[in-house]
Structure 1
Amino acid sequence: MAPPRPGPRSGRARCQDSRRDWVREGQCGAAFWGEGSAHCPATGVSRPRAKLHARGCMTAGRAGWRIAAAVVVVAVVVLNLVGYLEGSRSAGLRVGVVINELEAGLVVTRVAPGGPAERAGVAAGDVLLTVNGQPVRSNEDYDVVAKGFAPRRPITYVVQRGPRTLEIEIVPGVPMEWWPFLGEVLASLVFLVLAVVVAAQPRHDLRTRLLFLFSAAVAVELALPSMPMVGRQAVTTLATVGFYLLSGLEFALELHLVLMLPEPPAWLRRHRAVVPLLYAVGVGAGLVLAVLYLGDFHRWPVTTGDTSRLRGNIINTLLPVWAMLVIGLLAHRTLTHPEPSGRHRAGLVLLGNTPWAIFIFATSLLNVLGRSWPNWLHVAQPFILLAFPVAVFLAIYRYQLFDIEFVVRKSLVYTTLTGALLLVFYASVGAGSVLFSQYVGGGASMWVVAGATLLLGLLFTPLRQAVQSVIDRRIFPERYAMRQRLIALAADLASLGKLSLMGNHLVEQLREIFRLESTTLLVADPTSGILLTLATTKTDLDENFGLSFLLSPDDEGVKMLRRANRAVAAAPLIQRSASLAQRLTGFGVEVMVPVTSRGSVIGLLLLGPKVSGERFSAEELDLLNLFAHHVASVLENARLFASATYDSLTGLLRREAILDLLERELQRATRYGRPLTIGMADLDHFKEINDRFGHLVGDALLNRVAQSLQSGLRSTDAVGRYGGEEFLLVLPETDLGGARAVAEKVRAMVEGITVPAGRGHTPPVTVSIGLAAVEAGTSKGPRSATALIAAADQQLFRAKERGRNRVEPSA
């Protein structure tokens, strides 16, 4: 994209004569077209504003890109400041005329309506003879005199008008062109923001490098002083030469960037000469234009005669071709790309380039026809440029253009919206009250205005909420849908009742909503505060701790989470806690979300990486924080309720609960003559493991064994923690033979458990089980729960005596 500048940077417009076309637009204050126009009516040539995009060093690291971005920021700020200072200085020295160096001498060809020259009596066709007593026969002569101009100090022109010689006194000074200047500043800052966003990315490929250099160069070019500068010949020369060179580079570099969007086509790899050809054409054209300009203005011997018409023809040919190629390539990718996301990316960039292309076609046509640009077109030009960065930002945000991450935070949009509504509100009240008071006088006017103000105040909040809702659905549809699903999930949890069902449902839904590889929920024990695994979607439990994942409330990482009270990436937590680092790394955790209640961590969400490999956005983390806040009370109530029935460490039934169940099953077996078997299971050498490796490892072992016991039993069976490392198994409708098979299965599962204990140690885990039964249809066997437990406990003692890691049924 290379939209034309509001005026030639050299401070000279181009008008054709048989000898030369020098148009004085700056040094003498001859800024008729420089005061809002880039078009010379004699040549039909306009200077385009181009966008630079250079390849740069393809091996530069992230720090190098950040340094480059910092340099660009400084350059844009300094250039904008220089533009303001020079623009305001030169405005006080301009008189509002356009002069040409013709055969008759320096001829006034245009006079700005209402300007100082017109007010003093200068007319088109006057031949300038002297300025402040100094003869002027060429542009160079005028440059020397113009350096002595001062704001508001009269200038004496001696002009020849037909047969008469007139002496005219002119007081220089015209208003500064604020709208074009502010528009260019705004456009340069927006492109600068785009460049900084791209430079801040952790990964760079050719496409992101091109986009960074392109955006940075546009920002710098838009910041270059574009208003006529009086007495600054060297600066104007450098700006003009730079313009031509950058225009040539940008022709090639933007087409190169478009060819890479959304990814390089296959034919580009087969025809490798295309890209070098683009650079050869673009750079060659830029060099030719620069040499022709220097030859004209500085009388270089490489050119003869006037070249302004040739330069105008080159520009008026290059820009439309450039625009057609850009639009054509983007349109083709938009219509033919196989992936919807690719079509959307190309379509958005096409949409951003379309205003610029229309602008190029329209202004080039005006130039060829020799027509002047309307003044509104000069004011609108920098705002037309904003379509491109806005489209790129949308492509980045909605479709991850070039895999760039950029988050448009809803809080920023809402703040902007509220500010706009407030401006509309106060403008309506202020303007409305003035207009109404003009037509309705007296006290009635005051009451009507007060009533209207009150009505607007009452409507402000509903209107803001309605517009925010529209913004959520239209601008943030994915976030809106995600938030609605999280709200529904939080509402569904309470209806599930049991804590275990809540946990399983929560982790499965979170994994689906955010498309994660794994999700785990830890819940704190109400007594000890130790965080225990409640539910997980991990499948490789044996290799990565599985359900034995425990965290102490005194862990430094947990303390950091409690203080932060928000979602935190796993990386900084790993640096704070060695034990947590081991667990997080093994469990594949990328983000941890604390669930807090009354200042305590009652739960912890461990979120694995996304399946797509994308990072969590800031907006997603905010949604997770909000979700954790909503489910905290639900989990807290369920946790407290479950603590009365279930053991907090193992998640199994507490001793009282399993004994109550045993009493009920025993009464049913006795009444209906059905079989019932119980088992007493005890971990072997648990005390030694606890003493050697610590209570956290011991607790993890108990938790893991409990889950293995529970998963090894049938749906009709029950297991509870009887005390310490002892577990009670209740197997209804099961005789001693069937119970022995179930117990052997459970024993084998426990034997396969591995719980890393640090420093490469993995203690062996085995269990001994004693069985006792009530036989079906007989009076044999114990008839009370106490007797049945005693019998099973006796068989457990026998299993211990016979070497442990075995099942001993009663005789």
Structure 2
Amino acid sequence: MRMEQAPTLTPDFLALLDTHAGLHFVRTLWEHFPERMFIIRVEGPEDFIIEAINPAQQTSIGIATQNLGQRIGDLLPGPIGHDVLRNYARCVEAGTPIRYEESGIFIDSDGTRQHGHWLTLLVPIKNQGGIITHLFGVAQNLTELRLAREALERQNLELERRVTERTAELLAVNERLAILATRDFLTDAYNRRHMVTLAEAELRRANRYDLPLCALMLDIDDFKGINDRCGHAAGDHVLRQVAKVIRETLRDSDLVGRYGGDEFMILIPETPLAGARESAERLRTAVQATTSCSISLGLAQRQATDESLDELLSRADAMLMLAKRNGRNRLEMAELIAPG
């Protein structure tokens, strides 16, 4: 069932359009409408002639009254004219209004030629026989909106760049702060506080899964004498040398911390006493061979009865003291006590 189309004009307005006042109404609208309006005569599928242009159209793209009656192809050659003709032909073929965006050259208020953007509505006009004879167009100027959007996009890109740059800076600062909070500035080993935290976690894991765990305490032989004879700068150099040898000799999984002064604490996870002894002797030999000092070491293994890190470290520290008393540059270790 065909629906009756609701009227879009009142009878009084229809009557007005048939009068001189109606003609004045349409002319006033045509002359003062702020957007571009134009009427194109359809001569053929690709043949379109300019019939009328309102003042806004003349101002915006510089088409003057002498251009009336010209063919679009003659007035707008090249790619711009090709795009205009393509859209006109599309509207004629569809037989219905179409919308599209277009770009072109316009003349601004200073008389300068500028590149502009418009949203165009094209409406086919049919005669009583249903033949499309004209196209009526209204083009809304999007130039300022497009320029504002492009400026906003540029600002957003700049903001994203600044945010990315600032984020990288903050991450670098945070990374540096994390290093300062966990590392000894002189030797790059873990500082004592962080080393104890890591060691306590390793001890809990070893106790939970009954894994072997060894602690190694070492210090530099006659370190006070080095400082007294050569100065603290020389002592710092020796500390850095020993720390470097430790890193290069032990495994990545072994934890190394500067426990205080010239004393280092090393935790050797998942390694029984015999394997830890080999690592300790290899380390002692490497320090003696590559630096200007020697080290003494004390080694202890986790006992099943150990409930705190202090118990394990106390045994390793006692072995270190024994190594110092027995002549230095040596390793002493606490034997594993079998459960009774």
TM normalised by structure 1 equals 0.21
Bigger proportion of residues as helix: 1
Bigger proportion of residues as strand: 2
Structure of greater Rg: 2
Q: Which has the higher contact order (CA 8 A, sep 6+)?
A: 2
